[in-house]
Amino acid sequence: MNVSVSQANLAHALSIVSHAVAAKSTLAILVNILITTEDGQLKLSATNLELGINYWIPAQIEEEGAVTVPAKLLIDLVNTLPDDKVQLKLDPATQTLSVRCLQIVTDIKGISAEEFPPMPVFDDSEAIAFDMNDLRKMIQQVAFAASSDDSRPVLQGVYLNVNGNEMAMAATDGYRIAVKNIVLKENFDQPISVIIPARTLMELVRITSENDKQVLVTLSSGKMQVIFHLQNVELASQIISGTYVDYKAIIPKSFQTTTVVSTASMLKACSQAAIIARESKNLTRLNIQGGENGAGKVHITAQSEETGFYENYIDANVDGPDIQIAFNVRFLKEVMEVIESPNVSIQTNTSMSPGLIVPLDDNQNYRYVIMPMHFG
């Protein structure tokens, strides 16, 4: 291998693929990045066997070749190099990669590319095209609600269902459920129903930009892997096996009290209450009070023996009886951060039944169910 690339392009590519490098592994190869030449470009790859990322950058190729080198070492080095051309030259006999930039020369001991795990191969003949902006918004509004508990792997994923021209995405950690539905621009003949790790989808959002208008998606023949393909980057992931929860049955259908508040005001109040509530399991009380002609208030309080007391009132339009209910303020804050509508509806029944949060102008396309907490 003998190639020349831009330092800026190489540093950016390394920052993308680094998130697929295994943090800890008994296999030394999994903490390495695969560097190879392909179709006149330089290809960087990393995998932890659950998530894999390929990234292609323009390169001047004098000699083809491939090698793997320690990811952290290479990233730390490239980030300190001048903004100039970087030459990568491999000695196949010793698997040593020479990295040269201006007068700076560094030799890095590598491992043969043949030991690197095979990456899934993208087949564009079976690819389904999605609008990246739509998919990005769905992921941002849903994936954060997935569980981080390793003992419940199914809930660590996001359920994706495509049927005809309708696509639904849902995530839950057992205490809340986020659901987003959209209508696609075209019909798909083959229904899709898979559980994709939430981390995979959040990585997809991270590595894409507003310039990415379309993403091609394929499932492996056994539907055990999914590949997202964009212009310069490819993300592959294992699919979570199992049956997803029947989230539709959990979403309440009717409510006694509907409270409409400013999304920005609610977000600000939740951010403030969280400072106190984090020492008391994030418990925050909402005392919803109606008024004349529906003009009411939401009295928000949080208390902790260690830190103190928080109290705030925000204006609200209340339709229905007054209610006192407690929620995990972090769950409230996180949903307010992803809702784009200026006003949001909080729908409740009793202090012991789940609440439903819906953007006011969203026509039920986005729903967020949140379980109440005991007042204690």
In which domain, by residue range, is 299 found? Answer: 252-370
Q: Write down the pLDDT at residue 376.
A: 62
Task: Report the CATH number that the domain containing residue 340 is assigned in CATH.
Answer: 3.10.150.10
- Classify the phi-psi angles of 113: left when phi > 0, otherwise alpha if psi is within -120 to 50, otherwise beta: alpha
How far apart (Å, rounded) are the C-alpha atoms in residues 136 and 132?
A: 6
Contact 219, 225 (CB under 8 A): yes
Q: Write down the pLDDT at residue 345.
A: 96
Same domain as 357, residue 271:
yes
Same domain as 300, residue 345:
yes
Decide: residue 154, CB within 10 A, 0-12 exposed, 13-18 middle, 19+ buried: middle
Last residue of a domain, one of 248, 277, 310: 248
In a domain, 375, yes or no: no
Contact 1, 112 (CB under 8 A): no
Query: Average per-residue pLDDT in the chain?
Result: 94
How many structural domains is the chain composed of? 3
Q: Write down the pLDDT at residue 53.
A: 97
Q: Write down the pLDDT at residue 191.
A: 85
Quickly list DSSP for 215-238. Answer: EEEEE-TTSSEEEEE-SSEEEEEE
Q: Write down the pLDDT at residue 363.
A: 67
| pLDDT less than 50: residues of the chain | none
Q: How many CA atoms lie within 13 A of 257 on its CB side?
A: 29
Q: Write down the pLDDT at residue 150.
A: 87
Q: Which residue, 84, 196, 347, is CA-closest to 215? A: 196
Same domain as 138, residue 103:
no
Q: Write down the pLDDT at residue 184.
A: 87
Summarised one tens digit per residue, pLDDT across range 256-288 is 999 999 999 999 999 999 999 999 999 999 999
Same domain as 210, residue 110:
no
Same domain as 244, residue 325:
no
Q: How many CA atoms lie within 13 A of 320 on its CB side?
A: 16
Contact 252, 259 (CB under 8 A): no
Q: Write down the pLDDT at residue 336.
A: 98
Tokens 């009290």, residue? 257
Summarised one tens digit per residue, pLDDT across range 310-338 is 999 999 999 999 999 999 999 999 999 99
Q: Write down the pLDDT at residue 349.
A: 96
